[in-house]
Structure 1
Amino acid sequence: MKTLQIKTAQNVNINFTLANVGQRLVAFLVDNLLKFAYIYFIIAVFDFNLFNDSLKGDQWSIKAIDVLVFLPITFYSLYSEILMNGQTIGKKLLKIRVINVDGFKPSTTDYIIRWFLRIVDFNLFSLIYIYMASLGLSSLYMLLMLIFIFGKLVGFVLILFTDKNQRFGDIIADTVVINTKDEAQFSETILEDIKEDYIPTYPNVVKLTDNDARIIKETFKVASKHNDYKTLIKLRSKIQEVTGIKSKHTTDKEFIDAILKDYNFYTQNM
């Protein structure tokens, strides 16, 4: 199994196991099965002949209905990965997830790039197939079929032969697909998943050390889980004593969570 080692800004090494081509292929097939099920359901439930009859001669309206019907499956992988934190239903079943090569959650732009470049990964040569088929080259039927099939395999060939098991969309978007079982390693470090537009509150948090941040996170995690407010109060007081920070938050949980995120923000951008 290939692995991806990430060295964080805090000099913490994390190893993620990369999803292999078999896992990604099965996830791909599951997702496409769902798409076909959707199409079958739409055709079975709705009488499209009725639409065609009522809109007879109005080709623009008919095309608009076609577009609306196919929108959910056209953008399926894009909105699924954005809403499900890097997973489609297929990826969730296979327990794999898309992350940034630095170990963080990809941005919306990264997801859009991955989705758009499926044209290259799965449909590049299929476009040639469509063009040749439109010319009516029936004598080249076998060649056309080979081009179509090969066009669907480009992404999987790249996954097989790239160092980080990346298809073209992954390479351009700086993303990889990992086994979710490795995410526990990430939560056990001092790292926090902060958004690109995150605005820090406490600059003095840089007075803490990596070891301080690790102790704070471990203590905060246990105290929050058990609603141990006495420990949270002590933790907040200790942070204020060491850093000289005065809390601007209404609860200790919000304050400590902000401290951890701010520490990550400043150490990642120094």
Structure 2
Amino acid sequence: MTQIAINTTQNVNINFEAASVGERILGYLIDFIIKIAYSVAILLLLFNVFEFDDTIRDWDYWSTFSIIAIILSPAIFYTVTLESLLNGQTIGKRIMKTQVVKIDGYQASLPDFITRWFFFILDFYTFSGVIGIICIVSTKKSQRLGDIAAGTSVISIKNKVNISHTILENLEEAYLPTYPNVIKLSDNDARIIKDTFIRARDSKDYATLIKLRQKIVEVVEVKEQIQSNDVEFISVILKDYNYYTQNM
């Protein structure tokens, strides 16, 4: 698979494995099925159960179109909304273990997701998706037109990337990361966190562990914390950093 080298804002080079065309298509199909299922279900409910067709019978075309568009807006804006809320993932991407990331090391933002969503029409609804597929397989960082415009790409978080030198600790082969935003840390940040963590853990300095966790959450911008225990949380952060990072 294609390797994508990303230089983070802390000048740390990280190699990610680009999602394959097959993974991206399957993720899209899962999302497409979800959107179609919602659209069919809501329209059947409105027209068959609530007899909505009687309500709009005397409306003009644009009024009818506007109401239908509002009703179907969750399906229309499904991708851009979920990618914004789930840090570059939709349900399909989560199932396929892929994620949208910025190739300049910064975190992808709402304008980036909107740009990708807007260009999707050109990428996959023109010539039956040929343009998008050709771009993905021919560009150096596996980008479709929307990715090029937004400065993003789609990576696979399913397989362990090659790490030439582990600066923190060894990981199990099947290890999967939890917090992709650890790429915001530098090597020096990770070493300081590890040293402080080990000293505080061994001496049972819970106050320091709490402060350390709060600082990590602030810097890494963790939106959802899966681990409630401070030791477990910091340990996962260190493992995730080890997963993503290699010395160049």
| TM-score, with structure 2 as normaliser | 0.68
8 A Cα contact 2:5 2:15, kept in partner: yes
In structure 2, the residue matched to 1:246 is: none
Q: In structure 2, which of residues 44, 54, 66 is the aligned counterpart of residue 64 of structure 1?
A: 66
8 A Cα contact 1:165 1:176, kept in partner: yes
In structure 1, the residue matched to 2:134 is: 157
Compare 251-260 and 171-180 and name the one that shifted more: 251-260
Compare 16-25 and 45-54 and name the one that shifted more: 45-54
Q: In structure 2, which of residues 101, 104, 110 is the aligned counterpart of residue 102 of structure 1?
A: 104
Q: Structure 2: how far apart are the matches of 1:83 and 1:108?
A: 9
Q: Secondary structure at the match of 1:178?
A: strand
Q: Structure 1: how far apart are the matches of 2:72 and 2:219?
A: 43
Q: Structure 2: how far apart are the matches of 1:66 and 1:27?
A: 26
Shift of 1:30: 0.7
Larger Rg: 1
Structure 1 residue runs of 5 or longer lacking an equivalent are 126-149, 194-209, 236-250, 262-270
8 A Cα contact 2:7 2:105, kept in partner: no
8 A Cα contact 1:159 1:166, kept in partner: yes
- The amino acid across from 2:22 in the alignment is G
Matches within 5 A, 1:152-231: 152-181=129-158, 191-192=183-184, 212-220=188-196, 230=205
C-alpha distance 187-86 of structure 1, shift in aligned 2 (>3 A): closer
Q: Structure 2: how far apart are the matches of 1:36 and 1:192?
A: 37
- The amino acid across from 1:156 in the alignment is I
- The amino acid across from 1:214 in the alignment is A
Structure 2 residue runs of 5 or longer lacking an equivalent are 162-175, 221-248
Tell whether 2:83 aligns with 1:81.
yes
In structure 2, the residue matched to 1:144 is: none
Q: Secondary structure at the match of 2:155?
A: strand
Q: In structure 1, which of residues 66, 71, 93 is the aligned counterpart of residue 95 of structure 2?
A: 93
How much is the aligned-residue C-alpha RMSD, in angstroms?
3.4
C-alpha distance 43-257 of structure 1, shift in aligned 2 (>3 A): closer
Matches within 5 A, 1:22-61: 22-47=22-47, 50-59=51-60, 60-61=62-63
Greater helix proportion: 1
C-alpha distance 152-189 of structure 1, shift in aligned 2 (>3 A): closer
C-alpha distance 37-227 of structure 1, shift in aligned 2 (>3 A): farther
Shift of 1:44: 2.9
Tell whether 2:7 aligns with 1:15.
no
C-alpha distance 219-259 of structure 1, shift in aligned 2 (>3 A): farther
- RCO comparison, higher one (Cα < 8 Å, 6+): 2
Shift of 1:218: 2.0
Encode CA deviations 1:56-96: one digit per residue, 9 max, x unaligned. Answer: 32124422321112211111110010011100111100000
8 A Cα contact 1:26 1:90, kept in partner: yes
- The amino acid across from 2:192 in the alignment is I
Shift of 1:37: 1.1
C-alpha distance 212-154 of structure 1, shift in aligned 2 (>3 A): closer
Q: Structure 2: how far apart are the matches of 1:188 and 1:38?
A: 30
Shift of 1:154: 2.0
Count of aligned positions: 203
